Structure 1
Amino acid sequence: MKMTDGSHSAEVVGELMSITAGLRRLSRRRTAEAVAVPPLPEAQRELLFVVANQPGIGIAAAASALDLAGNSVSTLVNQLVEAGLLQREPDPADRRAARLTLTDKARQRIAAWRAARAALLGQALDRADPEDRAAIAAALPALRRLLDQVRADVADPGRDG
């Protein structure tokens, strides 16, 4: 499954999607089992991680990061505020806008999720061949660039290249 000269193979694309979906699904399932907290819908979890990575983010920016409509993110925010996992504070620069921050309860939950996920994947990586570990590490920058390219293409579908 080798690709060169900008060509892509349906087989490579399919395998990449299968692998990333499988890792995500297993990680999510095993993390939920390892962490003794009530489960959250995936969209709520994703929003919590966005806020954890960008404290003080606004709803519009969170919607963009999640590739969701603003009203959908507003609904998620309301649910997470009600659950005691998110705080919505007025933006000092624009009182009509809100800034999102995690509660202590959410920070603890995210720390537990991250620890469980790191343990699961870390153990698997520890058992992998050194060559495979090196190849996975070497592929990370290219995978990050691929994600950035897909995000850019989705944001501006008419752009060239």
Structure 2
Amino acid sequence: MEDEATAVAALGTGLAEVQRVLRRSMSRRLGRPPLPDAQVEVLRLVERRPGISVKEAAERLCTAANTVSTLVGDLVAAGLLDRERDPDNRRLVRLRLTPAAQDRIAAVTAERRDLLLRALDRLDEPARREIIQAAPHLRRLADLLVEQEPGHQLRSAERDGAGGAG
């Protein structure tokens, strides 16, 4: 059991280190400083859920609405997000990526992929294959970690129509 706990701790450290190195390398290669993690989270969420409201984004990110509103304001000022009034409820504002944000996300995604491919090419074939085969499991692990966040079950019930006034 202790060996497994040690291996799991090493996994967490390794994943954090890979993310840190990728972020630093991409920043250098793309010639611009990376966006703050919180802004990236908002952009990725809007990418997955175009038209999401600030309130919905705050719920999904487990963050206060005023914090998300500030992040959105910064991203709008940077030309990365558009705010549009909901045609059915003029009090609601819907968020969408701008073409500049889509281009930036595409460039970062391509650069990350290329950096990983170059590093993977330097591994022996069995190690390379194991890492690539682990990718879907890492995605599922991330989903399970999100499910463990406080308030996740309440948000899931609200999305499914089982809770809240909607």
TM-score using structure 1 length:
0.81
The aligned residue for residue 78 of structure 1 is: 73
Bigger fraction of residues in strand: 1
Partners in 2 of 1:129 and 1:65 — Cα distance? 40
Describe the SS at the equivalent of 1:100: strand
Q: CA deviation at 1:38?
A: 4.9
Partners in 1 of 2:141 and 2:131 — Cα distance? 15
Describe the SS at the equivalent of 1:96: coil
Write the letter of the residue equivalent to 1:32. S
The aligned residue for residue 44 of structure 1 is: 39
For structure 2, which runs of at least 5 residues remain unmatched after alignment? 155-166
Write the letter of the residue equivalent to 1:109. R
Percentage of matched positions with identical amino acids: 45
RMSD of Structure 2 on Structure 1 (CA): 2.3
Are 2:43 and 2:97, in contact at CA under 8 Å, matched by a contact in 1?
yes
Q: What is the number of residues matched between the two proteins?
A: 152
1:18 paired with 2:13, answer yes
The aligned residue for residue 24 of structure 2 is: 29
Describe the SS at the equivalent of 1:47: helix
1:62 paired with 2:57, answer yes
TM-score using structure 2 length:
0.79
Are 2:85 and 2:93, in contact at CA under 8 Å, matched by a contact in 1?
yes
Q: CA deviation at 1:156?
A: 4.0
Write the letter of the residue equivalent to 1:86. L
Write the letter of the residue equivalent to 1:51. V
The aligned residue for residue 106 of structure 1 is: 101
Q: Which has the higher contact order (CA 8 A, sep 6+)?
A: 1
Write the letter of the residue equivalent to 2:54. I
Moved more, 57-66 or 128-137: 57-66
For structure 1, which runs of at least 5 residues remain unmatched after alignment? none
